[in-house]
Every structure is written in C-alpha cells, then in structure tokens.
Amino acid sequence: MPDDQPRHPDHVPLAGVIGMPIAHSRSPRLHGHWLRRYGIAGHYIPMPVMPEHLAEVLRALPRLGFVGVNVTIPHKEAVLALADTVTDRAALIGAANTLIFRPDGKIHADNTDGYGFVANLRQNAPDWWPKAGPAALIGAGGAARAVVASLLDSGVGELRITNRTRIRSEQIKSEFGARLVVYDWAQAGNMLEGAATVVNATSLGMDGKQPLRLPLDALSPDALVTDLVYAPLVTPFLRDAQARGCRIVDGLGMLLHQAAPGFECWFGRRPEVDDDLRRAVLE
Ligand code: ATR
C-alpha cells in the first residue's frame, strides 16, 4: 500500500506503546479505560521493540493501521532522528513520547511529559502559582528535562537544579539558559531555601530503590512539593514534606495527563483525567 493512500472509512484506529521492556507499562490500561469509557472502536497495544528494529517497526506500523504510538525507554531519544517533523518542545527536551502517523505517511514527534507535569499540578493544586518563587528540581535525566521546559514555560523566574552527576545539570543549564542555577548534590538541601515549588525527578523513592534523602530544614511549609515517582503514590520524600506542612502532589497525574494529547489525536476525543481513571490505572 502506498504511504499516501487515504485510510479506509471502516478503518479501526490502532495505537500503542513501544519500548523495552514494556510488560509493566500502565499505558495500555490507561488508554483501554478511555476507549471503553467513550465507546470508541480502537485498540491500544503494548509492543516490545529492540533498538535495532526501531526504524523498521516505525515504517511498518502505519501500514498496519496504526495512527500513532507512545514511546518509552529506550527509544525516546532515537525516535527524534526517525521522525519527519518534531515539535519545538520535543526538540528542546531532546526526546519524544508521542508519535502521530499522518495519513500521508509522515511521522510527527511530540513530547507531552512537560504538559502532563504542569496539568497534574494545575488539577491537584489549583492555587499553585509558578511565579510565586524559585523552583527547585532534583534530577537531570530525561524526565527532568521535560519538567525544566514546562516550568520555564510557566514563567518560573529562577529554576534551581541539582543532580548526583553534576555535569548533567550543567548541560541542562547550558541548553535552557540563564534562569537555571546549578547546585552541587552535596549542598542540595540549600536550594530549598525560599523555594515555592520542589520537584523530585530522580528515580529515588521508587518501590525497591533507596529513598531520596535530602535535609528539609530549609523547606518552607508554603512550598508545593511533587514527585515524578508514582509507585508508591506517596514517596518517603512526599511524606516528609507533608509532615513539614507542605502541600504535596503525587506523580500519577503526570502519567495520566501526558497521555491525553496523544489519545485525542489518535482517537478524536479529548479524554478526561479523573478519579475513575486513577483507579483503573492503579488496579
Ligand atoms: P528518566 O528518563 O526517568 O529521567 P534517567 O534519564 O535515567 O531517567 O534519569 C534518572 C535520574 O535519577 C537522574 O537524575 C539520575 O542521576 P544521575 O544523572 O546521577 O544518574 C537519578 N538517579 C538514579 N539513581 C540515583 C541514585 N542512586 N542517587 C542519585 N540519583 C539517582
């Protein structure tokens, strides 16, 4: 079938997630819930893909009736080079999590992680105001880069960043600019002084991993504290922040919100992120 052939009117849209490993991805449950809830004829499928097969798989999927896919580890960076168009935010972050296969065969890459991060805070802490004071970010991996892009976009005046491997935070500063201030990992507690928004974007605190250990003496009870880790929902870091009187927002909402733009593009309906969805994903 030529790539520019229009889709058949009876076409049942297929979408999914590609990664390796993929068995534990919550995305099929999430999109499956929305498909059932809105009575949409479509399917969302987890697909294990080896890095050496990525290019071939991306060429084949549109021909099999796929309208797009989510992308997870280890392909989030590699897909940028294989896409025909890349949004500015995906290019800036250096990774994509959402691909749209256009009817003309072109692949469009976007990154909705930063959108999901901010949408989660807006939904669960509606009075959160990014300009209230400096933001403090722990971590400098792929997820942290999406948080940096979205916080700067939201108007944060100063964004402090620390990471075990300091050079990764230096690299982010060199790419994202003057509003970033790098703190040494050994002095991470200092960056909480006066911070209005505090984010853990490391994998510390995840089930089976060490907790994030940070002296919280400088943390103001007025700060909003959030964690990208969502298993467990309340990480030791969030629990400690809550004990100091801070408002906390868990990371599950980011996962749910980052999925919404892709679902809308593929299946034609903007889905809702609510408690029913949370329950379905946690089951
Ligand atoms: P993701 O795409 O989820 O952000 P990643 O790019 O591998 O994944 O980033 C993981 C983050 O968790 C990094 O900030 C990493 O710190 P390093 O850059 O120093 O590796 C952080 N991290 C993971 N394990 C850690 C540990 N034991 N102590 C401190 N930081 C850790």
CB atoms within 10 A of CB 24: 8
d(CA 33, CA 26): 11
Active site residue 173: no
Is 168 flagged in the annotation as binding?
Answer: yes
More confident residue, 2 or 19: 19
CATH 3.30.450.90 fits 114-250, yes or no: no
Domain ranges of the chain: 14-111+255-282, 114-250
pLDDT, one tens digit per residue, over 265-282 is 999 999 999 999 999 999
Superfamily of domain 14-111+255-282: Leucine Dehydrogenase, chain A, domain 1 (3.40.50.10860)
167 contacts: CB under 8 Å, gap ≥ 6: none
116 lines ligand 1 (CB under 6 A): no
Could you tell me the pTM of the whole model?
0.95
pLDDT, one tens digit per residue, over 24-42 is 999 999 999 999 999 999 9
Give the phi and the psi of residue 191 in degrees, each rounded to 5: -80, -5
CA atoms within 13 A on the CB side of 174: 6
202 lines ligand 1 (CB under 6 A): yes
Which pLDDT score, from 0 to 100, does residue 1 have?
A: 41
Same fold, 14-111+255-282 and 114-250: yes
Report the chain's mean pLDDT, rounded to a whole number.
Answer: 96
CB atoms within 10 A of CB 217: 10
d(CA 60, CA 44): 16
Q: Is 198 helix (H, G, I), strand (E, B) or coil?
A: strand
14 contacts: CB under 8 Å, gap ≥ 6: 42, 43, 44, 45, 64, 65, 66, 67
